[in-house]
Amino acid sequence: MLHKTTRTLDILPLYSFARSLFIKKGNFDMKKTVLFLALSVAVMAETQTIVFGAGCFWGVEKHFDNLEGVTQARAGYAGGNYENPTYREVLKQRSASKGVVNHTEAVEVVYDDSKISTEKLVKSFWELHNPTQGDRQGNDKGNNYRSALYYSNTEQKEVAEETQKAYQKLLTKAGFGTITTEVKALKKFYPAEGYHQDYLAKNPNGYCPNHTTGVKFEPSTKKVKTISPLGGKEILIVDAEHCAFCEKFKKNVTDHYNGTIPLRTAHKEALKGFELKSKIEGTPTIIYIENGKEVYAYTGYMNEKDFYKDVGAFKLGLESEGYDVAFKKKTDGRFCKQYAEFKHTGDGVFRDKVSGDILFDTKDRFNSGSGWLSFFKSVKGSTVEKVDNSLGMRRVEIIAKKSGAHLGHVFNDAPGGQQRFCINATVLEFVPRAEVKKEAKK
């Protein structure tokens, strides 16, 4: 049975401070002083501090920041026998001289134990990482990445020891080795340099590290819905719970994806039957799959333009004419094969080959005799215009708004003094209007 430690508070300094605050015209306001003391004691009594080391402190800090009941998580250093460690010093001491005990990258967690119990917090620590790896965590090697738990009171020590025994049994059953976690009383925590605090929040191209064993204290009763290869080309987005970068990628990119290559999002454990070359050690991980096999993978947040550039390479091929036009600003040859196919299509629209967005309508198409597809205008909001002074000419470039693909140029020489959107056919796909209407009804 776990016992809650009773913490005593010295309220005399608080009393003196409160008394100085609530004196009115020489009269002591006892009612306000008592209320102030009660609120202060309540807040202080509910707050505990514990320090965890689970590999690189960036991801550990982010993990605990996301737990309800945690009031503060700070990256820093603990567990060593020298004072005032710095990031450089901790890295240097990975091959420490005799008698030097290096600090490990750690996170100081302050929590309200009326909202999250010590047991729940410590269990989340065990489940967060692989505590059997000694002086490393994943690809991060060195004694500064060792697993550690530094407790501040008897309750935390009891919880740490009892949950460690329970977790060891679960790990052994799952085929893992012996827990190597350093469990000791906290001597001193040294906050890390400012640039390490909230690091993943400050760096938009970061990722959420994943060093978990997958072993849970209480296995989820929820059945994992697995996904298997579709055949052909597809895009997998591997995400995780409480991953801020995954949420950001979904909001900024995948929620607006209209491409023709199927895109699916799933947790790592849901993937079945795929041949992956990359280890999934962080989220989001974007995996480009062909016939069940990984072609390429990228881990970390990716902005929309970079994502579509990768999609373009995957769909069109890095050596293709379409990729050269879209992302190297090349130009189709006059009267090219694709142009010949597209100049007399039936009623419909032309989509961006990369993003799937509708860019042009056959209602606005006309035969300019130039050898390139010509339109009076693009679909409203689908393209952007940019001054292009390349090749010694002053032109206006047309770019697909979402994918950033180069489409062609606009000139003021269409019939009736209108604009002529001169567009490369190899970056477009034609869709009959009937199909567009069917998709809109889904």
Secondary structure E strands in 208-318: 208-209, 233-239, 263-267, 282-283, 285-290, 293-299
Token readout for 93 is 């001491």
234-261 tens-digit pLDDT: 999 999 877 888 999 999 999 999 999 9
How much is the pLDDT for 4? Answer: 39
How much is the pLDDT for 356? Answer: 95
396-410 tens-digit pLDDT: 999 999 999 999 999
280-290 tens-digit pLDDT: 888 899 999 99
CATH 2.170.150.20 fits 330-441, yes or no: yes
How much is the pLDDT for 200? Answer: 81
How much is the pLDDT for 223? Answer: 75
349-366 burial code (b ≥16 CB/10 A, e <16): bbbbbbbbbbbbbbebbe
Residues 308 and 352 sit within 8 Å (Cβ to Cβ): no
**Percentage, residues of the chain above pLDDT 70:** 88
The CATH number assigned to the domain with range 47-203 reads 3.30.1060.10
User: Which residue pairs from 268-272 have beta carbons closer than 8 angstroms and sit at least 24 positions apart in sequence?
Assistant: 268/210, 268/238, 268/240, 269/214, 269/224, 270/224, 270/225, 270/226, 270/227, 271/226, 271/227, 271/236, 271/238, 272/226, 272/227, 272/228
How much is the pLDDT for 47? Answer: 86
Catalytic positions? 56
156-191 tens-digit pLDDT: 999 999 999 999 999 999 999 999 999 999 999 999
d(CA 242, CA 127): 14
Residue 439 has pLDDT above 80, yes or no: no
d(CA 138, CA 414): 61
How much is the pLDDT for 9? Answer: 41
- Mean pLDDT confidence for 192-217: 85
Q: Which residue's structure tokens are 């993990």?
A: 63
312-351 tens-digit pLDDT: 999 999 999 999 999 999 999 999 999 999 999 999 999 9
87-118 tens-digit pLDDT: 999 999 987 678 899 999 999 999 999 999 99
Residue 267 has pLDDT above 60, yes or no: yes
This prediction's pTM: 0.75
- Nearest alpha carbon to residue 424 among 410, 401, 412, 408: 408
Apex 437 CA angle, 362 and 408, nearest 5 = 35
For domain 233-302, the CATH architecture is 3-Layer(aba) Sandwich (3.40)
Q: Give 77's DSSP letter.
A: E
Q: Higher pLDDT residue, 238 or 207?
A: 238
Q: Higher pLDDT residue, 25 or 433?
A: 433
How much is the pLDDT for 98? Answer: 81
Apex 96 CA angle, 91 and 101, nearest 5 = 95
Residue 301 has pLDDT above 60, yes or no: yes
11-48 tens-digit pLDDT: 444 445 545 555 444 555 565 555 554 555 444 557 89
Token readout for 189 is 């925590």
Residue 10 has pLDDT above 90, yes or no: no
- Bond from prior residue into 85 cis (ω within 30 degrees of 0): no
Mean pLDDT, the chain, as a whole number?
88
375-431 tens-digit pLDDT: 999 999 999 999 999 888 889 999 999 999 999 999 999 999 899 999 999 999 999
Question: Cα(first)–Cα(last) distance of the chain, in Å?
Answer: 56
